[in-house]
Structure 1
Amino acid sequence: MKKVIVVGGGISGLATAFELRNKGAEAGIELDVTLLEKEERVGGKIWSIKEEGYLCEWGPNGFLDSKPQTLDLCRDLGASERLLRSNDNARKRFIYTGGALNRLPENGPMFLKSRLISWPGKLRLAMEPFIPKRTDGADETLASFGRRRLGEEALQKLISPMVSGIFAGDPETMSLRSCFSRIAELEDEYGSLITAMIKLAKKKKQETAQGKAVSSAAGPGGVLTSFRWGIQELTDILAEQLGSSTVVTGQPVTGLTRGSSVPWRLKTPTVDIDADVVILASPAHATAGIVSGVDAAMAQVLGEIPYASMTVVCFGYERERIAYDLNGFGYLIPKEEGMNTLGTLWDSSIFENRAPEGKVLLRSMLGGACFPEYVQLSDAEVMQRVKADLKATMGITADPSFIRIFRHPQAIPQYTVGHGKRLAALQERASALPGLFLTGNSYRGIGLNDCAAAANRTADEVVAHLKGR
């Protein structure tokens, strides 16, 4: 029997342990899998907090159903019937600019009528097919790409808010190929994003007529999906099916060394544990500390992956005290608007069961890579800034009757320029350390679908490694 230790009890570690148990059984390999989590609870950044009839998401609030990875995981867990799709209102998304919330256009006619982008900005966008594609293969920032292909206004009002909404990141430092590889591929293949969208739309129409389907050029799309009692249901189900004999909480890993009788030895404050395979599903900064004693160069590369801080603020209101029509997903704010928040989600409009009857739940985000100091603000200052922005954007003057503030000093990994080279360096270092595997959202995608895909891939790699020994 082979001993496997998974370090980290977030979605990545839990899903990897679950996938590995199943794939090991299919391959006829006897495995003893243990997952170690330093906190007293599992779930990592996934935490659905239920208080006073409100359901506040501490971290992510769901996943898109346009990719199969998380849906497949839920199916294997027997949890598909418990999934909750977001309200149709969630398709309506807004950008705050020019003193008003402007709906993000979903098609050509809506774009032409939209006041989000000025006519000069629209004309600049229309020139995109005539912009030569970049051929040097250099790792380009999202800001550089946006200015080059779409223009400054599109960068400020479309790309920058999207980057802050997904990564809490700064487009001036984020890598296009690491963050949005599909967009880079479209330029490489078609020379133009608009040309790609037209050709892929035509292809999709043809293949749909033949009973097939292709991805949209505009992105993954899909419907935001969660559970009635919050996305934490997913990690709770994983932990329940793995069982208490597999999942050990309150057990930090402080170091890693080569073993004597087996390849690896993990150090904890109470005991040393030998293992044939070690899977580190911890954040990059934590993983750096664990591997520092066995590979200083790997630890250095891991330490170069920065994280953005984030403060999440949940406000609950009596619905009658808000005059604004909350028929939508919420809005993002370009940093050029000079506001305090990155944006606000209308959580009780996105999913049912997020607020008591007759009340609404709004969730605002502050900080990110552009405003790292905001995570240090006092509760009073945070509330004052959020209230000021809600008054400016939606005319809300009432005081919330429910307030919760969650701080994340190291919230989201930042795939800055050079991230691809860092991944290549990590892969090279790991190849010299057989039986050691890295997984999680620090590397090839931050969303739940990305984590589920990485878990599946890591489990395959571990099985292949054990079969090859």
Structure 2
Amino acid sequence: MTTQRVVVVGGGIAGLTAAYRLLHPTEAGAEVPRVVLIDSAERLGGKILSTPFEGRLVDEGADAFLLRVPWAIELCEELGISAERISPSVGGASVAHTGGDAPQLTPLPDGLVGGVPTRLGPLLRSPLLGPLGPLRAAADYVLPRRFTARRLEAASVGDIVRARLGAAVASQVVDPLLGSISAGDINRLDAATSAPILGQALERSRSLMWGLRRMQPAPAADDSGPAPIFGSFEGGMGRLVEALMKRLDGCVLRLGTPVEAIRRPGTRFAIDTGSEVLDADAVIIAAPAHAAAQMLPAAPDAAAALGLIDYASVAVVTLSVRPDAIDAPHEAGFLVTRSTGWLTTACSYGSAKWPNWAAGGDQPPEGVPHPAGDGVGGDGGHDGNPNVVLRVSVGRDSDDRHTRLDDGELRDTVLAELSSLPPLRGLCDPTVVASWRVSRWPHSLPQYRPGHGHLVDRIEEALAQEMPGVFVTGAAYRGLGIPACIRQGNEAAERATAHLASASATASP
């Protein structure tokens, strides 16, 4: 019998994981199909990209993964790279917000879980909320239950936080934190899929803060301190992509190959790339939802539903600045409230946060490509570089102003915004910037609108009816972030494997 073939479209972390899992199934003795991995880009990794910047490997996209869920940790163990994992050298963050005559930085209050306060004391002590904000948050303890199970299904994150804790907590704490993860607006962000912990907390208690506290594990008996929340690698997140690529034994790669259409003229699928037509017994689409919609003219209902998923465009401005230009940071970075009107949404003190970015970091290996189209200034890098690396995020849902600026204009705008903050006043002098680059990610971050889970159900049901054997996976569907994409890649591989087994059993005499 001819070995069955699966085509995976999209080489980001979800597609790479799906291809890896097809080739390395968890079930002993499982049939291993032939795998073809197609990507329109000339490289694999999607939004994971670690490239040289002043003698260091610095991430242009995702720079860490969450350690409080198992999927990335387990994959790293399988790949044998767990020992290379690092954690941030510093923690904590502040919020840049309007205050008086000028923007200011205020530390986030303690006791946050999932970006949401769990204790009143830190709110009362924080100048971030003004005099009335903490008093409104205190009403959470006495307000009646407001969300039925049905209301929770349709609620945004903003709906829940405002109803329980008030507008100040929503705009000054939760929106900068949760909104920065997806470049989203918590007032349009589906609570059930973006922050399911909120609904789970309200099932335990009418008070959101009490419910969140009850969900927290008991503190460790030893005095080891809090476990790290995020992890990365000495060589940046690109190390995970590299390790996966080395384990794609026998996988056929087609890079720089866009898929024009996926059809099913007979019992098998035809994947048209414009230059060739590949046949397959199952297809996993790990491309963005808007790209997937264009590939499925033979599945109009699924394509229409895929087209309803919105995306935000973002960019990362990486700066190398003289250390005397900023006050030495004692935290990982800061977030920015919408009330500032800034393009900047967050700033990471990269050299303080990641030990491998600090002065004297390892020289990157030769031959690591840099993507075309990024603005780069300065004189390059050298060993033992004393400069400080800042990573500045711009762009969010309903704010694409950065897309209308060229790289130099975007750099200047970011510097003007940052230099209005007291610890960063030195950035008003452009000569303190030794090097810089702009990494643009157009239409890259999916937005989970209220009811997103039902929309994903609709997409999967339509595909099962119109093109059984085609599966979608990735950040657009059931979870953002690297671990969630790894989980979804594994699940897509399992569904494709089950489909192959079913098709094989049906074809057997």
Aligned 1:279-358 pairs, distance under 5 A: 279-291=284-296, 293-322=297-326, 324-356=327-359, 357-358=385-386
Corresponding position: 1:58 with 2:63 = no
d(CA) in 1 for partners of 2:122, 2:345: 24
8 Å CA contact retained: 1:10, 1:46: yes
8 Å CA contact retained: 1:178, 1:444: yes
Which of 390, 395, 403 is the matching residue for 2:418? 390
Aligned 1:415-454 pairs, distance under 5 A: 415-432=448-465, 433-454=467-488
Which of 102, 124, 132 is the matching residue for 1:120? 132
Question: Which amino acid counterpart does residue 174 of structure 1 have in structure 2?
Answer: L
Change (3 A) 1:415 1:198: closer
Aligned 1:185-200 pairs, distance under 5 A: 185-200=200-215
Change (3 A) 1:391 1:183: same
Change (3 A) 1:142 1:355: same
Q: CA deviation at 1:334?
A: 0.6
8 Å CA contact retained: 2:183, 2:397: yes
8 Å CA contact retained: 1:23, 1:463: no
Partner of 2:40: 38
Which of 225, 232, 238 is the matching residue for 1:226? 232
Partner of 1:463: 497
Question: Which amino acid counterpart does residue 157 of structure 2 have in structure 1?
Answer: L
Change (3 A) 1:174 1:200: closer
d(CA) in 1 for partners of 2:78, 2:149: 44
Deviations 1:91-140, CA, capped at 9 Å, x for gaps:
21111122321111223554443222223111111111223231161311
Partner of 1:22: 24
Q: CA deviation at 1:339?
A: 2.5
Which of 142, 162, 165 is the matching residue for 2:180? 165
8 Å CA contact retained: 1:16, 1:455: yes
d(CA) in 2 for partners of 1:282, 1:455: 12
Deviations 1:59-95, CA, capped at 9 Å, x for gaps:
11010111110011111111111212221x1x21111
Question: Which amino acid counterpart does residue 198 of structure 2 have in structure 1?
Answer: I
8 Å CA contact retained: 1:174, 1:417: yes
Corresponding position: 1:144 with 2:165 = no
d(CA) in 2 for partners of 1:350, 1:301: 40
Which of 14, 28, 32 is the matching residue for 1:12? 14
Deviations 1:40-76, CA, capped at 9 Å, x for gaps:
1111111112132143322110101111100111111
Question: Which amino acid counterpart does residue 80 of structure 1 have in structure 2?
Answer: S
8 Å CA contact retained: 1:45, 1:59: yes
d(CA) in 1 for partners of 2:463, 2:58: 38
SS in 2 for 1:26: coil
d(CA) in 1 for partners of 2:444, 2:105: 27
CA RMSD of aligned residues (A): 2.1
Which of 274, 281, 286 is the matching residue for 1:276? 281
SS in 1 for 2:215: helix
Change (3 A) 1:198 1:446: closer
Q: CA deviation at 1:245?
A: 4.3
Per mean C-alpha deviation after superposition, the further-off stretch among 160-169 and 442-451 is 160-169
SS in 1 for 2:397: coil
Q: CA deviation at 1:274?
A: 0.8
d(CA) in 2 for partners of 1:147, 1:228: 40
d(CA) in 1 for partners of 2:339, 2:205: 32
Change (3 A) 1:378 1:244: farther
8 Å CA contact retained: 1:24, 1:31: no
d(CA) in 2 for partners of 1:56, 1:49: 6
- Gaps of at least 5 residues in structure 2 are 112-118, 360-384, 504-509
Q: CA deviation at 1:386?
A: 0.6
SS in 1 for 2:231: strand
Percent identity, aligned pairs only? 29
Change (3 A) 1:125 1:248: same
Q: Compute the TM-score of the two structures, normalised by the length of structure 1.
A: 0.91
Partner of 2:369: none
SS in 2 for 1:15: helix
- Gaps of at least 5 residues in structure 1 are none
Q: CA deviation at 1:275?
A: 0.6
Change (3 A) 1:30 1:136: closer
Q: How many residues get paired? A: 452
Question: Which amino acid counterpart does residue 311 of structure 1 have in structure 2?
Answer: A
Corresponding position: 1:105 with 2:109 = yes
d(CA) in 1 for partners of 2:192, 2:32: 39
Change (3 A) 1:239 1:61: same
Q: CA deviation at 1:355?
A: 4.8
Partner of 2:92: 92
Deviations 1:347-385, CA, capped at 9 Å, x for gaps:
111112225442111111122113123222122321221
Partner of 1:133: 146
Question: Which amino acid counterpart does residue 130 of structure 1 have in structure 2?
Answer: V
Q: CA deviation at 1:27?
A: 4.1
d(CA) in 2 for partners of 1:161, 1:68: 26
Question: Which amino acid counterpart does residue 330 of structure 2 have in structure 1?
Answer: N
Q: CA deviation at 1:222?
A: 4.4
d(CA) in 1 for partners of 2:256, 2:342: 40
SS in 1 for 2:321: strand
8 Å CA contact retained: 1:53, 1:355: no
SS in 2 for 1:325: coil
Question: Which amino acid counterpart does residue 364 of structure 1 have in structure 2?
Answer: V
Change (3 A) 1:71 1:280: same
